[in-house]
Structure 1
């Protein structure tokens, strides 16, 4: 069986849903943000503080390009969609699922936008980032799960039913 990759904004629930989905589908779980942190031996925000958001995106693209996980649930960083090559690797591993959460709900979930390690231009607002990335999420998604009004269990079930 193939892997399933989850894409979406910070706060969309990729890691939370990913762990539950891995249990529900008897797959292993990997979080690419953790792979970046392990490789660099520092948190995402520290990488950006010491360099910049473009360097974090470059590192993320390298990590995505090296993925070779069969039968996994892969939770990606929100900025994975900036790497065309990285997204091609994810699509080779299996379907890409976009967890589509409305902006207002994301705002309610994210209380640490400024220091969460979000790969964005320092002057970019959360709404601007949402608008920019939303186009890319739809472009790369094989499946879109509209999460508004759904429980985590319902979201996991919808994704698991995709196969």
Structure 2
């Protein structure tokens, strides 16, 4: 891993994994700012992720996402990334400079239960790709970039937050 420049935490995982919810709670506990990179993208472009997908396609959205990630400084923040951040190696290497990447690992069935609005959610994938296809394609990428993996199976928000905090504490103690 490249040199870490701060004590930030970067959350990665599928849409519906709880990155934004857990990220906000974790930021409060750590006393740092919370950043949702999907909101950064929407602010920059002045439209929703779904509007970008509809007008310009998934490759455009992925390119904008990578550019936004590379142009931002994430010092002392908890960062909830968009689910497709892992498609850009450069963006992920940039994010990892700020702190560990925590993969919130949620099963496909749990994601299917949580993401009822797949077609309107702004999920950057090729036309016709279903949630299972997105999951299968992204899982190895999440695993590749994860410094820490937290199994979120069957956990409510409070329990997942505790698991993330415990994993971060263990990671920090290990001196990685």
Give ranges in structure 1 of 5+ residues lacking alignment. none
Show the 5 A alignment for 1:118-129: 118-129=123-134
1:115 aligns with 2:120: yes
1:100 aligns with 2:85: no
Q: Normalising by structure 1, report the TM-score.
A: 0.97
Moved more, 153-162 or 49-58: 153-162
Measure the CA separation in 2 of the matches of 1:46 and 1:17: 26
Residue 159 of structure 1 deviates from its aligned partner by 2.0
Measure the CA separation in 2 of the matches of 1:62 and 1:70: 17
Measure the CA separation in 1 of the matches of 2:62 and 2:100: 22
SS at match of 1:30: strand
Q: Give the match for residue 140 of structure 1.
A: 145
Measure the CA separation in 1 of the matches of 2:34 and 2:153: 24
Q: Which runs of 4+ in 1 moved over 4 A?
A: none
**In the TM superposition, what whole-angstrom CA distance separates every residue of 1:47-82 from its partner, at most 9, and x where no partner exists?**
111110000000000011112121110000000000
Q: Give the match for residue 45 of structure 2.
A: 40
Measure the CA separation in 1 of the matches of 2:120 and 2:156: 27
SS at match of 2:126: coil
Residue 115 of structure 1 deviates from its aligned partner by 1.2
2:96 to 82, 91, 95: 91
Measure the CA separation in 1 of the matches of 2:163 and 2:115: 24
SS at match of 1:64: helix
Q: Normalising by structure 2, report the TM-score.
A: 0.90
Aligned length: 163
Measure the CA separation in 2 of the matches of 1:129 and 1:34: 21
Q: Give the match for residue 136 of structure 2.
A: 131
Show the 5 A alignment for 1:13-52: 13-52=18-57
CA contact (8 A) 1:53 1:121 kept: yes
SS at match of 1:57: helix
RMSD of Structure 2 on Structure 1 (CA) = 0.9
Measure the CA separation in 2 of the matches of 1:38 and 1:12: 23
Measure the CA separation in 2 of the matches of 1:76 and 1:92: 15
SS at match of 2:103: strand
